[in-house]
Structure 1
Amino acid sequence: MYSGQPLPLETPDAAAGAAASGVALIRTYKAWKGSNIFLLGGRLIFGPDVRSLFLTVFLIAAPVAIFCIFVARKLMDDFPHHSGISIMVIVVALTLFDLILLMVTSGRDPGIIPRNTHPPEPEGYDGNTEVQPGQTPPLRLPRTKDVVVNGIVVRTKYCDTCMLYRPPRCSHCSICNNCVEKFDHHCPWVGQCIGLRNYRFFFMFVFSTTLLCLYVHGFCWVYIVRIMNGERTSIWKAMAKTPASIALVIYTFISVWFVGGLTVFHLYLISTNQSTYENFRYRYDRRTNPFDKGVIKNFMEVLCTGISPSKNNFRAKVQKEPTILPRTVVGGFASPMGKELNYMGMAVHSGRKPIWDGSVREADDSDGSLANNDRQDKDGVSADISPDLSRIIPPEDTEGRSIMNPRHSSWERRSGDWDISPEVARESKQFSGRNGTQQSWTDSKV
């Protein structure tokens, strides 16, 4: 149901067989259709806004560096038995732990569901149903599908981009362009979606950042109080002697409202077994939450259960998708997007004048038996072939307008708007002279 990108060739024998057959193989992350950014050969996966991660690291590391230089270093000698060094050790360890959680949250697969290469078949479809012209297909792919979770019916939606029915609690992230299992939200501060496989680390990151803010904030006040008691001065004079502490107190006070409030909010979400996406959409306000197992089991599910393995192997080798080549249309060539059509040697662009092109000759030279049959007459004598203007130039009607297709007005051109090179006109006259007729080109303008 959730088969995704081109099937990876997991076994070495399969990869060797594909390589021997001349099939081009590339890593899965190079053929990935999402908006993710990969590092270290597909070992790390980030969102498209991964640059914001540098700002987050700076907002954490810079205040801690200021705290270590101007506060913790001076407090190391104020405590007996060298216990003051523990202030420095704890703040450094807490910062490193916080940064590691940030990288784990941002650089791992959040629970991406692989895309289907083909849309799923409707239920009850046997593959033998024939639809007559003008009839509506009897089976259509429904937009929603109901599944039962813990005895409660949950409606799932079909994703047009990933061509699959999303599992319960799954949503498509418009930023990363992926369907993420148990989607919580896309966090711009970590540059990654928060989902089933990294929600635990995200919560631990927010919680540890809150503890770090409280730690720095508290010891800045300790340092201010020790200055006030040591010099027997007022608190305002003591604060004036340590401007770094004042800056850190203000910074951590503002930050703790954000990260602390976010921690409290996610504690509530974990206790009720909701996601941010579900809570903001009031998903369970008027109906029972089928995933709620009670406060203790909800915390156990998020913090103590094993993390499900990733459904993607970004380093596996897959077959490279073939490039769409130009296709032949009515004796000419059309690009895959259909924006340009070379009709018998004349490149016709939308809104442009046609230009004589040599692609017809190349096509005739590479066209096997058909070209050879055209170049020989009934007696087997090779004929001298030159471009025929009757095939290149559309016939003119009585009003002097050239008509290629009466259904499309873009093919209608005035005869004076067609640019014919002198070589083509000369070859046309020679060809007409051999047949005993005279080909004339009237340049009429209406």
Structure 2
Amino acid sequence: MYRSGAVMAWNVFKFCTALRGLGSIMILLVLGVVGVSYYAVVLSIYGPALTSGGLDSLIALVVLIMFHILLVMLLWSYFSVVFTDPGGVPPNYRPIVDEERGETDRLTGSEFNPLTTPDPTNSRIRYCRKCNQIKPPRCHHCSVCGRCVLKMDHHCVWVVNCVGAQNYKYFLLFLFYTILETSLVTLSLLPYFIAFFSDGEVAGSPSTLATTFLAFVLNLAFALSVLGFLIMHISLVAGNTTTIEAYEKKTTPKWRYDLGRKRNFEQVFGTVQKYWFIPTYSDEDLRRMPALQGLEYPSKPDLDSQEF
């Protein structure tokens, strides 16, 4: 029995190690798709079309401007997810009340004494046995990262990072701009993709045609797959849940963090509208909304006293 358990633990460890190694490859794959798309759209087709004159030049100019704006926003959002820590549990963290279970009775005595070791068997305290520390509300342990992550949504191999409280907005913007960029590339290459299978003669070298064909297929595939993923996350934001919490809610009659769609949206994107579509927050939001830091969250019983 012990041997079987040891083998299972070892296999899980190897799986988590493999996911960490796979992340670097996924970053190269993302940059590879960007490179192929850039070559097809900018260098092969619409860049040269700028000198053709007339309506073709105008269309090429519009496509190139939109392509580069969306590309900048996509890469900005992507690397913000990659390099932003999703949020970890501060050293010596101690809760005052058990917010996860909706309790209002303050923790007293040894439960909240920073000079004593917390009791992991205390049902009023969320405790991570792997990290040997108390877990804040909405915090979960990531086996790949080997630590607890604040408001963890999932571990994403595409960004070599966990998606959590402090980079979830950036992840959603990455999905959003990926859909816009891949849709633009797909539509701009569609006439050339159709011509590729027509009987007519298509201008360009075989390598250029092959790259255009590859760029069209890759961008169409990414646009369709990411669209479904974004729709799922929009529904999660609307209910103020994460992917993990959406599963847990099946056994929860009432979700105390559901504040209504507007407030739920602000818990992720902030209240300052000019910052909604860029991967950063205003200093005002960071100061007034502790939920963006991942440790404290307003809930239904607290709405009357909660200030943003």
TM-score by length of 2: 0.65
Q: 1:255-274 counterparts in 2 under 5 A?
A: 255-274=222-241
Q: 1:83-232 counterparts in 2 under 5 A?
A: 83=58, 84-116=60-92, 124-125=109-110, 141-143=119-121, 145-146=123-124, 157-223=126-192
Percent of residue pairs identical: 23
- CA 1:144–1:85 in structure 2 vs 1: closer, same or farther (change >3 Å)? farther
Which one scores higher on RCO, CA 8 angstroms, separation ≥ 6? 2
Q: Partner of 2:263 in structure 1? A: 297
Instruction: State the distance in 1 between where 2:176 and 2:134 align.
Output: 34
* Cα offsets for 1:39-68 (capped at 9, x unmatched): xxxxxxxx7765232332223333222221
Instruction: State the distance in 2 between where 1:215 and 1:123 align.
Output: 58
Q: Partner of 2:221 in structure 1? A: 254
- CA 1:240–1:82 in structure 2 vs 1: closer, same or farther (change >3 Å)? closer
Instruction: State the distance in 1 between where 2:93 and 2:243 align.
Output: 30
Does structure 1 retain, via aligned residues, the 8 Å contact 2:165–2:293? no
* Cα offsets for 1:247-291 (capped at 9, x unmatched): 322222211122111111111111111101122x34245421111
* Cα offsets for 1:179-214 (capped at 9, x unmatched): 111110110000001100000000000110111110
Instruction: State the distance in 2 between where 1:70 and 1:174 align.
Output: 44
Q: Partner of 2:35 in structure 1? A: 61
Q: 1:45-56 counterparts in 2 under 5 A?
A: 50-51=23-24, 52-56=26-30
AA of the residue aligned to 1:292: D
AA of the residue aligned to 1:211: L
Instruction: State the distance in 2 between where 1:168 and 1:303 align.
Output: 19
Question: Alignment partner of 2:214: what SS?
Answer: helix
Does structure 1 retain, via aligned residues, the 8 Å contact 2:36–2:215? no
Shift of 1:95: 1.3
Instruction: State the distance in 1 between where 2:160 and 2:138 align.
Output: 21
TM-score by length of 1: 0.46
Does structure 1 retain, via aligned residues, the 8 Å contact 2:70–2:177? yes
Question: Alignment partner of 1:167: what SS?
Answer: coil
Instruction: State the distance in 2 between where 1:294 and 1:117 align.
Output: 29
* Cα offsets for 1:355-402 (capped at 9, x unmatched): xxxxxxxxxxxxxxxxxxxxxxxxxxxxxxxxxxxxxxxxxxxxxxxx
Shift of 1:107: 0.5
Does structure 2 retain, via aligned residues, the 8 Å contact 1:224–1:239? no
Q: Partner of 1:287 in structure 2? A: 253
Q: 1:387-402 counterparts in 2 under 5 A?
A: none
- CA 1:145–1:168 in structure 2 vs 1: closer, same or farther (change >3 Å)? farther
Instruction: State the distance in 1 between where 2:294 and 2:245 align.
Output: 23
User: Between Structure 1 and Structure 2, how many residues are aligned?
Assistant: 234
Instruction: State the distance in 1 between where 2:164 and 2:56 align.
Output: 47
* Cα offsets for 1:288-312 (capped at 9, x unmatched): 111111122212221124344599x
The structure richer in strand per residue is 1
Structure 2 residue runs without a partner (length 5+): 1-15, 95-106, 112-116, 204-208, 272-284, 287-291, 296-308
Q: Partner of 1:338 in structure 2? A: none
The structure richer in helix per residue is 2
AA of the residue aligned to 1:110: P
RMSD over aligned Cα atoms:
3.3
Does structure 2 retain, via aligned residues, the 8 Å contact 1:272–1:294? yes
AA of the residue aligned to 2:263: K
Does structure 2 retain, via aligned residues, the 8 Å contact 1:57–1:99? no
Does structure 2 retain, via aligned residues, the 8 Å contact 1:71–1:223? no
Instruction: State the distance in 1 between where 2:53 and 2:199 align.
Output: 20
